A and B are shown apart, each in its own frame.
Chain A
Amino acid sequence: MNIQANAVETGTKPNPPAFFDEMRSSDGSIRPAYQKIAEWMNRQSRGGMARKQEEAEAIFRRLGITFAVYGDTASNERLIPFDLIPRVIAAQEWRFLERGIEQRVRALNLFLYDIYHRQEIIRAGRIPADLIIGNEAFLPQMMGFDPPGKVYSHIVGTDIVRTGENAFFVLEDNLRTPSGVSYMLEDREAMMHLFPELFAAHRVAPVERYPEMLRQTLESVPPPACKGDPTIAVLTPGIFNSAYFEHSFLADQMGVELVQGSDLFIEDGALYMRTVTGKERIDVLYRRVDDSFLDPLAFRSDSTLGVPGLFDLYRAGGVTIVNAPGTGIADDKAVYAYVPDTIEFYTGEKPILSNVPTWRCSIPDECGHVIDNLHELVVKEVHGSGGYGMLIGPHATKAQRTEFEKKIKAKPSNYIAQPTLNLSTCPSNVGAGSAPRHVDLRPFVLIGDKIRITPGGLTRVALKKGSLVVNSSQGGGTKDTWVLED
């Protein structure tokens, strides 16, 4: 029995698929980019794939590529499921995405510079003042400060979803401390180990240069006080953080120190780490600690994860913090709806990548539309994350919708709404063979002296049949993502 590319679940689906499948066109033919993958799938036996699946798990577990689940003491490290079938992106599709992403991150950095300086975009009436000034993610302490190279968000993970042949949408911008890049790199490692013959048959754009590019990016934004080659360090909250593996992985791959707040101190206008010989200066700090925990003197006073005085030192030009504090204002859900406008405002160009259509409840007309169509919309709280304070209209009960309607009416500016998205599907290995599963894409972008985008990114896949939720906390997995070269 093989795991035929013509999926095992087709028999149970009388209707033509309602979703765009990235391997198979609606007429059933295999798209060119997937031709060899489909042939390869037809050659695999089910037992063979099961063995490879076990082998993959063993690799990940041995390497310790796990994520911690908070409050789960018995087995507080879990593996994220890995899907053996790679996702393929054709060269011309990637060129389009790349241009769109580059345009977007450039504009968002210009936006951040502007709102922390003259706020031209507010003066021009293109974005409401209180959406920015009254926003928790806006840091007044950043006003008038020029970060090195005028870059605010150096490391971006743009979440992209696809719903059709040429229909790509940006779902979220993730400008704070996006994670997942270690999975992108390790998924590739695992695939090259498990299926070398597949790589021999394709021209897959490499992702392995990411750590080197990250290092180059960090080195390109030294603080004014730095003379000579900058010393870089990665700041982690510690081994119990869910992304700790990634922090140590990146530090290791770049060949820099992985530090915790307790390793650091500030003396005579410089940031130091405690070393076996005494101390060593740090110029660029790639922090994987949230803004509010960075410096107990500037932000949350109960934080033990940061360094007292770090923010003042940053403003004085003694250290570069990457990403800059305060970038969250640009990926706020309420600001999101204004991003296409923002792109035009700063670049004079039409946005290449579209937003997901978004209704702002702060605007009466749009709010009315949301209330009338609650049953088919996803309503999100603007400052919420991770699905809290969220209503998925089609899956909600009438009572839940009525309750949400009240909430929206009480504080409209707190909510936005989007249509439920028909995420594209890719073939996934699902035990009984292969079957289409919904996916999204997070390409990783580096912004320093120039913009560097790693081809592909992290594909998250909703492994549960029919599920549209790709989050690892809810049964989502990852798969290797291939950009084919011409």
Chain B
Amino acid sequence: MLGRTAASLYWMSRYIERAENIARLTEVGYRISLTPDTGFGHREDWKSTLVAAGGYDDYMRRHSEIKPEKVKHFLLFDGDNPSSVRSCLETARNNARAVRTALTREMWEALNSTYIDFASVKSADLGSGKLPEFLDWVRQRSALFRGSMLGTLLRDEGFHFSQLGAFIERADNTARILDVKYYVLLPTNEAVGGDIDAFQWETILRSVSAHRSYRHVYKDRYRPQNVADFLILRPEMPRSFCFCYGWIERSLESLSEVVGKPTPSLTEAHAILKDLKTGNMDAIFQSGLHEFLTEFLKRNNLVSAHIADDFHFN
């Protein structure tokens, strides 16, 4: 497989995953804006949504203040925001177009029709409660793409590069969401324990579609320690670090076999997964959740850089 093909598959999947995550974040932001003021204002919530989406600075450079309509436009439709859902779908599609031969027809159709249908929607069309339906649609399309891939793509190198892109991005997103809200998870806050906190915790879980599965796993009310544990260490939670790295490791092992020797990216992924498997939340909270998340984001980026080197992306 060409290095360029591998790079395109990797970035295609990253951007589809990102589009889905931005849609989730927007949905949560919207939801919060519909609930009574929780004490520190809706603006703060849209701000944290922007931060989690990685676009706060960019947004503030162009808009002097946070206005819900502008934020929604920025996150979903703004072609100048490289991480807007529109930009993500376009980048994903351009990558897919460059490697049409490596995709199945189902995958291409799922992505291409999403792109085409999305292009006909404008922010103005989404007034009066149509937003949730639209965001549902984005998530469904992402799920359709993933399903097409899992159902039709040969389990060869192309599959693994695509998986790597999706899981590196997903781990990155989960880490950012946690990092934006890490202060509500700090043990000192637990003493407060009021409705507002419970609401904040639920928000975090909701943004990764885990508010119901949480209860299945913990059979308990929301507790910050559990929320963090769920999203970081639980191997059965499909958006947790541990889950993502399980798949990253598997794909890198398969690719290392193709190359004929373990690659630096695999070595690093091994180390990360080992740390996650042996880690526990008490220790993480003790040394600082924010510090832990910052370090994880750094290591995740390093794995991404190694992948590009190891497999001749350029």
B3 touches A274 (CB 8 A): yes
What 6 pairs across the A-B complex have the smallest Cβ distances? A248-B100, A252-B101, A276-B311, A274-B3, A251-B101, A276-B6
A237 to chain B, nearest CB (A): 12
State A259–B108 Cα separation when bound (angstroms). Answer: 19
A63, A258, A262, A277: the one within 8 Å of B101 (CB): A258
Range of interface residues on B (Cβ < 8 Å): 20 to 34
A277 touches B259 (CB 8 A): yes
A275 touches B100 (CB 8 A): no
Given the complex, which residues of B lie within 8 Å of A258, measured CB to CB? 99-101
B2 touches A259 (CB 8 A): yes
Chain A positions 255-293 with a Cβ under 8 Å from a chain B Cβ: 257-260, 262-263, 273-278
B200 close to chain A: CB less than 8 A? no
Chain A positions 24-61 with a Cβ under 8 Å from a chain B Cβ: 61
State A239–B101 Cα separation when bound (angstroms). Answer: 12
Range of interface residues on A (Cβ < 8 Å): 20 to 34
Produce 1/0 per residue, B104-124, CB < 8 A to A.
010011001100100000000
Closest B residue, CB atoms, query A244 = B97
A62, A63, A244, A275: the one within 8 Å of B3 (CB): A275
Produce 1/0 per residue, B33-57, CB < 8 A to A.
0000000000000000000000000
A356 to chain B, nearest CB (A): 38
**A239 and B97 in contact, given A64-B108, A276-B157 (Cβ under 8 angstroms):** yes
Closest A residue, CB atoms, query B104 = A252
B283 close to chain A: CB less than 8 A? no
B298 close to chain A: CB less than 8 A? no
Closest A residue, CB atoms, query B115 = A64
B binding-site residues for A, Cβ under 8 Å: 1-6, 94, 97-101, 105, 108-109, 112-113, 116, 157, 161, 255, 258-260, 311-312
B3, B108, B311: the one within 8 Å of A263 (CB): B3
**A274 and B105 in contact, given A239-B94, A252-B100 (Cβ under 8 angstroms):** no
B310 to chain A, nearest CB (A): 8
B1 touches A276 (CB 8 A): yes
State A63–B107 Cα separation when bound (angstroms). Answer: 10
Given the complex, which residues of B lie within 8 Å of A116, measured CB to CB? none
**A239 and B98 in contact, given A62-B113, A275-B1, A275-B3 (Cβ under 8 angstroms):** yes
Give 19 new A-B contacts, CB below 8 A, not counting A263-B2, A276-B311: A61-B112, A61-B116, A62-B113, A62-B116, A64-B97, A64-B108, A244-B97, A248-B97, A248-B100, A249-B100, A257-B2, A257-B5, A258-B101, A260-B4, A275-B312, A276-B1, A276-B157, A277-B259, A278-B312
B221 to chain A, nearest CB (A): 47
State A238–B4 Cα separation when bound (angstroms). Answer: 12
A230 to chain B, nearest CB (A): 18
B113 touches A263 (CB 8 A): no
A-B contact pairs, 17 of them (CB 8 A): A61-B116, A62-B113, A64-B97, A64-B108, A238-B98, A248-B100, A249-B100, A252-B100, A257-B2, A258-B101, A263-B2, A263-B4, A275-B2, A276-B1, A276-B161, A276-B259, A278-B312
Given the complex, which residues of A lie within 8 Å of B3, measured CB to CB? 263, 274-276
B144 to chain A, nearest CB (A): 13
B146 to chain A, nearest CB (A): 18
B94 touches A276 (CB 8 A): no
Given the complex, which residues of A lie within 8 Å of B157, measured CB to CB? 276
B145 to chain A, nearest CB (A): 13
